[in-house]
Chain A
Amino acid sequence: MAAPANGTAADAAWAPHLASAPGAEVVVDAVGKTFRRGGRRTVALSGVDLRVRPGELTCLLGPSGCGKSTLLRIIAGALAADQGTVTVGGRPVTGPSPDRGMLFQTPMLFSWLTTRNNIAFGPRAQRAAGLHERDDPELDEETTALLERVGLGGFGDAFPHELSGGMRHRAAFARALASRPSLLLMDEPFGALDAITRERMHEFLLDIWEQHRITIIFVTHDIEEAILLGDRVAVMGGRPPGIGEVIEISLARPRHATDTDTEAFLAVKRRIRAALRR
């Protein structure tokens, strides 16, 4: 579990988290999933192959019902595939693991815990399960560092209902990071936020990702969001649903919301539009 730290001095305060969790490679091999409700069978996914390189940010893009959330849940281990296999960091996925952090549209913080205790929930639960032996002072120090990292330094003792929408998302982010995941799975995480807060969350996400290079799979139905964030965009759709084209986004980083009307950006957008039609 412990890998050599490769963070900078500035990271040292919270270095144990991400610096020690290099991105994992994700391999999805011929995955299929069929839901049965009553006598009806719905094929949600069929023959999905996807390889996500270590430290890469891949977006899954497609319309509602294209199976992108299903695929994400299978990778998370929250849902079992009917066919095919998923491996993360070389290990087959058989169930949920703190190594694979998840973030959804609703932050789903534990409403009875302060921000600080929300963030410490994962490490404490893992300690109860005997996965590590870090003691409370150590966890406390890590939690404080994470709070600072996500800009909630003064809100460690606040309860979720006392935080704004963006703050709740950042707290959920910190909670996922506290488990030192090597892969973050994000299912339209900023879909419910207003445009301005959303833009800030994009910058925040990229900032964390660029410093620490964990692997991220990001589900969205927003083409511009996919282009702004992704190294690659996997376009999903079709009948039965699966991954169509995987498009490399070679636009230079950092990418800004203001770049969305440049010719290069529009060209990528047109290409993805065409892939979505197919």
Chain B
Amino acid sequence: MSLWSTLPPDEQLLTEPADEADLALVGEQDERADLAAYRRERRRARTRRLGTGALGLAVLALLWQLIATLINDPVFLPSVSQTAASFAHYFGRPYPSQGKPLWFDALTSLRRILIGFAGGTVIGVALGAGMSASRVVRHAIDPVIEVLRPLPPLAFIPLFIIWLGIGEMPKEVLILIGVAPIMAVVTVAALDEVPEDLRLRARTLGASPRYTMLRVQIRAALPGILTGMRIAMAGAWTSIVAAELIAATSGLGYLIMQAGDYLNTALVFSGIIMIAIIALVLDACLRGLLLLADPSRRR
């Protein structure tokens, strides 16, 4: 058994990088320190953490059910079971009757998000890479981003409707406009943060400038860029639901608005839960990519 694996798992989770180095040095005393055992222990700690997280959600649902039962007014607050029934009912049935089923609205919102998010990420990363590579580009684009970034994308909705009509395009552009500046900023930061020494190291190991750029600088910046994508994704949901509340005839935001107008509170909750589920899945995908890109986060 290595010294690492005998540490309480919480110790491992809470330590700062500096402390971690100290712990690692303790491990050094034992030259037989066993990598497999160390990883097993970390996996166990992760499972425990997931279990605790699930417990938190269960407590929230229990409280909700309890309060709903006490109030006993499904229009004010439907219970968990009523919401679940509503979710199941409307998942495949249109609401309002001339509208679309829940799954269709969910796919509509998801498509808008993915198209806008992909476009915004590509443009943002390209801008960020250009800004990191060239001082002139940076000085030219920086003020533009600084002016645009604090503006709420929602303020542009009327403009997009005037310019782009009421189809899918204005919604996708709205997402893009919100995502691109965030991605530009995080990309610049991530590329700038790669230490000069790391590149020098690659060069002294015989890597060409091109190889160093692709395999070291961009590679080292990848976790930062993926973290930025997670932040931008959260913003994208805010934008799309708000846009659908105001100016759409489909999508989860529209469904929630309609359900609210007819006091179908259980369906409002169903829509919100649908957003939570999709957002959670998308974030899990990005988190998965991040773990692939940055082994030190696998804990």
User: Quick check: is B136 within 8 A (CB to CB) of the other chain?
Assistant: no
A111 touches B25 (CB 8 A): no
- Distance between Cα atoms of A122 and B216 in the complex (Å): 12
Chain B residues in 8 Å Cβ range of A97: 204, 206
- The interface size bin for chain A is 35 or more
A69-113 vs B: 1/0 string, CB under 8 Å? Answer: 000000011100000000000000001111011101010101110
Known: A104-B197, A129-B211, A163-B24. A121 touches B295 (CB 8 A): no
Chain B residues lying within 8 Å of A176, measured Cβ to Cβ, are: 205
Q: 28 A-B pairs, CB-CB below 8 angstroms?
A: A77-B204, A78-B204, A97-B206, A100-B204, A102-B204, A104-B197, A104-B201, A110-B198, A111-B294, A112-B222, A121-B202, A121-B205, A121-B207, A122-B207, A123-B206, A126-B206, A126-B207, A129-B207, A129-B211, A154-B35, A157-B35, A161-B20, A161-B295, A162-B35, A164-B25, A167-B28, A179-B205, A197-B25
Tally chain B residues at the interface, Cβ within 8 Å.
36
List the B side residues contacting A221 at CB < 8 Å: none
User: Contact mask A122-133 → B, CB, 8 Å, 1/0?
Assistant: 110110110100
Contacting pair B200 A154 (CB below 8 A): no
- B296 adjacent to A122 (CB under 8 Å): no
The 7 residue pairs across chains A and B that have the minimum distance between CB atoms: A98-B206, A122-B205, A125-B207, A164-B24, A164-B28, A126-B206, A161-B296
Hey, which chain A residues are within 8 Å of B204, CB to CB? 76-78, 96-98, 100-102
Chain A hits for B296, CB < 8 A: 111, 159-161
How far does the alpha carbon of A102 sit from the alpha carbon of B251 in the complex, in Å? Answer: 58
A158 at interface (Cβ–Cβ under 8 A)?
yes
B220 contacts which chain A residues (CB < 8 A)?
A: 110-112
Additional A-B contacts beyond A101-B204, A125-B208, A197-B25 (6; CB < 8 A): A98-B206, A110-B198, A112-B222, A128-B211, A129-B211, A162-B38
Q: Which B residues are CB-close (under 8 A) to A197?
A: 25, 28
List the B residue with the shortest CB-CB distance to A76: B204
Query: Are the CB atoms of B208 and A128 closer together than 8 Å?
Result: yes
A101 to B201, CA, bound (A): 9
Q: Which residue of A lies closest to B21 (CB)?
A: A165
Known contacts A98-B204, A126-B206; A112 and B34 CB within 8 A of each other:
no
B114 to chain A, nearest CB (A): 27
Closest chain B residue, CB of each to CB of A105 = B197
CB nearest neighbor in B for A178: B205
Given A125-B211, A158-B35, A108 contacting B28 (CB threshold 8 A): no
